[in-house]
Amino acid sequence: TAGKPIDCKAAVAWGPKQPLEVRTVTVAPPGPGEVRVKIAATALCHTDAYTLDGLDPEGLFPCILGHEAAGIVESVGEGVTSVKAGDHVIPCYQAYCGECKFCKHPDSNLCVSVRAFTGKGVMKSDGKSRFTVDGKPVFHFMGTSTFSEYTVVHEQSVAKVDVNAPLDKVCLLGCGVSTGWGAVYNTAKVKPGSSVAVFGLGAVGLAVIEAAARAGASRIIAIDLNPSKFAAAKEFGATACVNPKDHDKPIQQVIVEMTEWGCDYTFECIGNTSVMRAALECAHRGWGTSVVIGVAAAGQEISTRPFQLVTGRKWTGTAFGGYKSRVQVPDLVNDYMAGKTMLDKYITHNMKFDQINEAFDLLHKGECLRCVLTF
Ligand code: NAD
Ligand code: AHE
Ligand code: ZN
């Protein structure tokens, strides 16, 4: 197949809020510096739903969504040296080139080597898409487009992982779970004995809880409007669960009263700007850090009284948990293989790729953490 276009199954997003169409697309061979990957398993992240709903300012249509996956390299383009056909890989929407200002900085993973192109849904070498339907181009998404049996990614966007790792499990390390863990370890740097509040108990929020518990946090307060999320939160390490609907007061006030001055660390894992404010305002007076993980809809802005910052709270955020993808994703896979994580517990559903629209319905209904689709 190397060097030739491949016709395969993919889910095409034709426009905002339209169901995906599972159909045959043509995937061109990888250009210079590119890698064609046969996707073995792909999960759905809330960000795919957000983009499909037309809420992402970078969302382009028609496109092929998907960014949480694992697969096997089918072929590589000219000049590619870090992977070869047959390697097992995880596509990474946060690229890593190792050479740009961001890769060289110890505190950032926001590689800029290909970001301008992945944001426009095209490849860097020629500014074009590798996907066509009936001869017409279909945009890439986040430099990954994993809702396709075959996809083409930049070499900077593909992490080589242990060939023995189960692809239908470690696909989750391509986004949500890694993001939650990294937000705790890399962004907030949660210390033993500290107090933590987590807003939103999807896969991202639960991964924050798992990591906070492992980091030795002594108090982990889990917050969600959907009480069916609380059992899992406790299993992952929450010490208390709070439903804002059970209280008349604003949720930040509830948390401040529970903890006297607020929590050392708070995490917003929803994408709701009011909750981002609440999370900041229940961070501890004097030193509390609040981490924004959730992705808010186009046009949304955050606000608070500046006094909240004057009195020592810090407001920050994270993309992919701060992990330098190609360097650190292989280590996350190794940790999984060594039994050090609860990764399997985030997978609540398994389906065939053709059922992708049903999987989106489950995500919207709040009935699933992660649904893994296989071809
Ligand atoms: P999810 O939809 O599975 O989980 C969100 C949870 O928030 C649900 O349990 C829901 O009941 C709860 N919720 C909704 N509104 C609430 C409110 N007002 N108060 C309390 N709880 C509320 O989503 P997910 O896949 O876990 O992703 C969470 C967010 O993180 C999304 O916005 C996603 O786009 C974002 N995300 C960001 C990154 C990053 O790198 N920054 C990576 C992955 C995901
Ligand atoms: N493209 C949007 C924002 C989307 C966004 O913030 N994406 C997160 C990852 S979500 C994964 O589920 C992210 O890492 N952003 C950093 C980046 O470089 O994309 C917009 O507002 O334009
Ligand atoms: Zn994601």
100 is catalytic: yes
Pocket-forming residues, ligand 2, beta carbon under 6 Å:
45, 47, 56-58, 110, 115, 175, 295, 319-320
Taking the centre of ligand 1 as the mean of its atom positions, its distance from the CA of residue 168, in whole angstroms, is: 22
Name the closest ligand to CA 67: 3
Among 270, 323, 324, 361, say which to mutate for ligand 1: greatest number of ligand atoms within 8 Å of CB.
270
At residue 72, the pLDDT reads 98
In 10 A of CB 22, how many CB atoms? 16
Rounded CA-CA distance 202/229 in Å is: 8
Which CATH number is 6-174+342-374's, of 3.40.109.10, 3.10.350.10, 3.90.180.10, 3.50.50.60? 3.90.180.10
219 is catalytic: no
At residue 2, the pLDDT reads 87
Cβ-count burial 284-311 (b if 16+ within 10 Å, e if not) = beeebbbbbbbbbeeeeeeebeeebeee
Each domain of the chain, given as residue ranges in start order, spans 6-174+342-374, 179-318
User: Is residue 200 lining ligand 1, measured as CB closer than 6 Å?
Assistant: yes
Set 36, 115, 284, 313: catalytic member: 115
Among 47, 50, 316, say which to mutate for ligand 2: greatest number of ligand atoms within 8 Å of CB.
47
Rounded CA-CA distance 147/289 in Å is: 36
Rounded CA-CA distance 202/47 in Å is: 12
Concatenated DSSP letters of 308-332: HHHTT-EEEE-SGGG--HHHHHHHH
Name the closest ligand to CA 204: 1
CA distances from 179 to 122, 137, 176, 235, 331 (A): 25, 31, 5, 19, 14
* Coil/strand/helix, residue 42: strand
Rounded CA-CA distance 92/100 in Å is: 17
At residue 174, the pLDDT reads 98
103 is catalytic: yes
At residue 254, the pLDDT reads 98
171 is catalytic: no
| 132-139: long-range pairs with CB below 8 Å, 24+ | 132/25, 132/26, 132/28, 133/12, 133/23, 133/24, 133/25, 133/26, 133/62, 138/12, 138/25, 138/62, 138/63, 138/64, 139/60, 139/61, 139/62, 139/63, 139/64
CATH topology for 179-318?
Rossmann fold (3.40.50)
Encoded amino acid at 290, one letter: S
The H-or-E segment that residue 102 falls in is helix 101-104
Set 175, 263, 269, 282: catalytic member: 175
Q: Is the pTM of this model over 0.90?
A: yes
In 10 A of CB 257, how many CB atoms? 12
Per the CB < 8 A criterion, the answer to whether 200 and 294 are in contact is yes
Per the CB < 8 A criterion, the answer to whether 160 and 89 are in contact is yes
From first to last of the 375 residues of the chain, give the pLDDT tens digit: 889 999 999 999 999 999 999 999 999 999 999 999 999 999 999 999 999 999 999 999 999 999 999 999 999 999 999 999 999 999 999 999 999 999 999 999 999 999 999 999 999 999 999 999 999 999 999 999 999 999 999 999 999 999 999 999 999 999 999 999 999 999 999 999 999 999 999 999 999 999 999 999 999 999 999 999 999 999 999 999 999 999 999 999 999 999 999 999 999 999 999 999 999 999 999 999 999 999 999 999 999 999 999 999 999 999 999 999 999 999 999 999 999 999 999 999 999 999 999 999 999 998 899 999 999
